[in-house]
């Protein structure tokens, strides 16, 4: 009997050891790092696409953290897998490697991995794909997840005043004597009536003044006094399509800031290629642009920067930035053709507006395409309120933009993005001037 129990314990120990070895042999660690090199090469042999992608927001003290999780199918194609690429709009690209390689896995059908990335508030677009990338025409290898992170607001804690309670004790005789002393004998009834009506008149004036202030700038004034806003009827969002030229990263961030502002503070429903890359890959740029332009009430065409002309670029600015979507290179020429096709109809042409971002806002910029010179033009940040009012010109009850709650914080990101764009443009112009001076000297 003892021998049998010892044999069973030995078999159990061997089985547990075998399971432990198998589990540890299947443990794969992912190591991710920022990548600043050239875009990954495209080959005719590539692993299978990602099985799934999930993104979860984790709050922090100063910035936010995204928990990016992805699943990989364990099949024959993992023999060709060299890593995973994570692209976040406005953030450095990350490349992830697996140690040991996934080719060592034999029992799993699917494996999940995760990576934590610090991001800032605002719109964040996350794209993940296995490396190496497939050849063009094989479909998009990226899985995409979009998330908008609100800006944290520092709300001061309310100060609760300390009220000291005092107890008064008096006799009936004392209270009677006090009442006789405090009420004078020569009080006039007419004076009391005049005083009451005077107080009521002052209150009516205050109420009327507060009502006028509330109608003109109610949200901002009421919230500054600590009042809570009552729910009102929601404003119907205006469908807006934003089209822009493919230029540089600073220009890209300014366009994204404009789209976010219109979406979250401008009471608009914005369509832009960066938020619908999957739909563009499915329909194609031409069909997607035609459908979005037809559904939109206004088409905002962002004017290219003067320094973005090919002849003005120094050699290190010839290659396009890899963070700019590929569809942007096709959509801008297509929108110019669309505007030209509507040039004979003033009613159809009124749908297309031109937006200039920073710099010298001219009525007819020299770098503006001929097709756009007859369109209505807005210059940001100077014409931001006029653009907002023009988009909602059919809604006469729309409040003034400067009186909307939280608009000051929302405009900070847009203003900073445009200022960085202007600084980038000035730096490019200096480089061009120095390059011209060197060529002239030679």
- How is residue 48 annotated by DSSP? P
Per-residue confidence (pLDDT) for residue 365, from 0 to 100: 64
34 with 94: CB under 8 angstroms? yes
Per-residue confidence (pLDDT) for residue 13, from 0 to 100: 47
Domain identity same for 257 and 374: yes
Domain identity same for 304 and 420: yes
- If DSSP codes are grouped into helix, strand and coil, which group holds residue 404? coil
pLDDT tens digits along 284-296: 999 999 999 999 9
**Chosen domain end from 111, 132, 149:** 149
Does residue 35 sit within a domain? yes
Domain identity same for 142 and 247: no
Does residue 134 sit within a domain? yes
Domain count, the chain: 2
Does residue 285 sit within a domain? yes
Domain identity same for 128 and 242: no
Which secondary structure element, helix H or strand E, spans residue 279, and what is its range?
helix 277-283
For the CA atoms of 31, 32, 35, 37, the dihedral, rounded to the nearest 10 degrees, stands at 30
**Chosen domain end from 149, 179, 199:** 149
- How is residue 32 annotated by DSSP? E
**The residue count for the chain:** 442
Question: Of 315, 387, 402, which is closest to residue 357 (Cα–Cα)?
Answer: 387
Residues of the chain under the 50 pLDDT cut: 1-4, 6, 11, 13-25, 154-187, 230-231, 308-320
Look up the CATH number of the domain holding residue 316: 3.40.50.11530
289-294 own/partner pairs: CB under 8 Å, 24+ apart: 289/243, 289/331, 289/334, 289/335, 289/338, 290/338, 292/241, 293/241, 293/335, 293/338, 293/351
Does residue 266 sit within a domain? yes
Going from the C-alpha of 414 to that of each of 203, 297, 302, the distances in angstroms are 42, 23, 14
- How is residue 37 annotated by DSSP? S
pLDDT tens digits along 2-40: 444 545 555 454 444 444 444 444 578 899 998 887 777
End-to-end Cα spacing for the chain: 101
Return d(Cα 59, Cα 65) in angstroms, integer.
Answer: 6
Return d(Cα 393, Cα 183) in angstroms, integer.
Answer: 62
Look up the CATH number of the domain holding residue 120: 2.60.40.2160
Question: Of 315, 182, 170, 332, which is closest to residue 245 (Cα–Cα)?
Answer: 332
Does residue 39 sit within a domain? yes
pLDDT tens digits along 65-117: 889 999 998 888 888 888 999 988 878 889 999 988 887 776 667 889 999 98
Per-residue confidence (pLDDT) for residue 195, from 0 to 100: 76
Return d(Cα 344, Cα 262) in angstroms, integer.
Answer: 30
Domain identity same for 145 and 267: no
Domain that holds residue 44: 28-149
Return d(Cα 73, Cα 108) in angstroms, integer.
Answer: 9
Does residue 257 sit within a domain? yes
Per-residue confidence (pLDDT) for residue 396, from 0 to 100: 65
77 with 26: CB under 8 angstroms? no
Does residue 413 sit within a domain? yes
Lookup result for tokens 């020569």? 186
| Buried b or exposed e, range 104-132, using 16+ CB within 10 angstroms | ebeeeeebebebebebeebbbbbbbbbbb
Per-residue confidence (pLDDT) for residue 241, from 0 to 100: 96
Pairing of strands 352-357, 298-302: parallel
Beta-bridge partners for 88: 126
Beta-bridge partners for 70: 53, 113
Return d(Cα 322, Cα 399) in angstroms, integer.
Answer: 40
**Chosen domain end from 149, 181, 198:** 149
Question: Of 147, 101, 112, which is closest to residue 127 (Cα–Cα)?
Answer: 147
Close Cβ partners of 325 (under 8 Å, ≥ 6 residues apart)? 246, 273, 274, 277
Pairing of strands 122-131, 143-149: antiparallel
Return d(Cα 217, Cα 401) in angstroms, integer.
Answer: 9
Domain identity same for 262 and 138: no
Domain identity same for 246 and 139: no
429-432 own/partner pairs: CB under 8 Å, 24+ apart: 429/307, 429/312, 431/314, 432/307, 432/312, 432/313, 432/314
Does residue 203 sit within a domain? no
């Amino acid at each position: 009997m003892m021998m049998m129990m010892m044999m069973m314990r030995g078999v159990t120990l061997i089985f547990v050891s075998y399971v432990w070895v198998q589990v540890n042999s299947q443990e794969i660690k992912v190591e991710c790092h920022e990548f600043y090199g050239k875009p990954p090469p495209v080959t005719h042999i590539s692993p299978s696409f990602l099985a799934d992608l999930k993104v979860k927001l984790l709050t922090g003290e100063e910035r936010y953290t995204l928990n990016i999780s992805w699943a990989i199918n364990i099949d024959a194609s993992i023999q060709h897998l060299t890593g995973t690429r994570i692209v976040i709009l406005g953030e450095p690209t990350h490349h992830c490697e697996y140690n040991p390689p996934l080719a060592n896995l034999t029992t799993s059908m699917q494996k999940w991995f995760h990576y934590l990335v610090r991001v800032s508030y605002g719109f964040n677009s996350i794209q993940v794909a296995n490396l190496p990338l497939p050849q063009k025409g094989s479909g998009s290898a990226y899985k995409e997840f979009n998330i908008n992170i609100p800006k944290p607001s520092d709300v001061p804690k309310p100060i609760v005043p300390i009220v000291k309670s005092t107890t008064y004790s008096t006799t009936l005789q004392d209270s009677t004597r006090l009442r006789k002393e405090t009420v004078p004998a020569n009080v006039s009834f007419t004076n009391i009536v005049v005083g009451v009506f005077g107080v009521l008149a002052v209150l009516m004036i205050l109420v009327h003044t507060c009502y006028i202030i509330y109608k003109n700038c109610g949200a901002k004034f009421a919230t500054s006094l600590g009042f809570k806003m009552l729910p009102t009827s929601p404003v119907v969002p205006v469908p807006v399509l934003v089209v822009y030229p493919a230029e540089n990263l600073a220009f890209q961030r300014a366009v994204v800031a404009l789209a976010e502002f219109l979406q979250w503070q401008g009471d608009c429903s914005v369509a832009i290629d960066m938020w619908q890359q999957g739909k563009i890959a499915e329909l194609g740029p031409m069909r997607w642009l035609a459908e979005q332009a037809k559904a939109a009430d206004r088409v905002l065409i962002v004017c290219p920067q003067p320094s973005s002309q090919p002849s003005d670029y120094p050699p290190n600015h010839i290659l396009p930035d890899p963070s700019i979507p590929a569809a942007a290179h096709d959509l801008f020429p297509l929108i110019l053709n669309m505007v030209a096709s509507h040039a004979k109809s003033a009613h159809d042409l009124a749908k297309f507006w031109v937006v200039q971002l920073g710099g010298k806002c001219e009525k007819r910029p020299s770098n503006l395409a001929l097709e756009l010179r007859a369109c209505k033009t807005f210059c940001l940040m100077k014409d931001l309120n006029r653009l907002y009012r023009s988009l909602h010109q059919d809604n006469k009850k729309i409040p003034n933009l400067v009186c909307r709650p939280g608009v000051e914080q929302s405009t900070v990101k847009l203003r900073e993005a445009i200022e960085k764009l202007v600084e980038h443009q000035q730096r490019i112009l200096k480089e061009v001037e120095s390059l011209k001076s060197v060529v002239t000297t030679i």
